[in-house]
Structure 1
Amino acid sequence: MKVVVVRAGGALLFSEFGTRHVNVGDLIVLAANTLCGAEPEGWVTTTTLYLDRDYGIDQVFWQYAEQFTDRLDAKAFLGVWVRTW
């Protein structure tokens, strides 16, 4: 999974799902193997993190263990959360 935080400026984000304007403070989460690109609008500063999906699920499960009965509950929660974005 790819997580991009826009720290300053803005850009036009292109992906197989269309085009969106992103600005400072936006968080972009993309599934693995999702093609994307960006065209800066003037200038832009970003931080990009690449995370293994299983690692992300484990982090959510451990951080909020009292809300989930097992790791599969955390995986289902993330699946719903990502699809609604």
Structure 2
Amino acid sequence: MRRNLFFSVLVVALPLALAAVLILHPTRAKSDDTKAAPAEVRVDNFTFGPDTLTVPANSTVTWVNKDDVPHVIASNDGLFKSK
């Protein structure tokens, strides 16, 4: 009888202990507010590199112009423009 009582308590106590651990120490989802490493685009001999670049919203992209001619960077829909 003592053995059955021990296993019954164990069956109830383990899930409760696991639930308590999960409630007290929840995993944190990665926030969208985290800043990505600064991105850079180079302009050299009228060639932009990298060819494509995807960054999270509100990220900073640095443009490095190695050409003799100034360039202006802007989106067609007016969402961003170089300073």
| TM-score range normalised by the length of the shorter chain | under 0.3
Larger radius of gyration: 2
TM norm structure 1: 0.25
Of Structure 1 and Structure 2, the greater strand share is in: 1
**TM-score, length basis structure 2:** 0.25
Higher helix share: 1
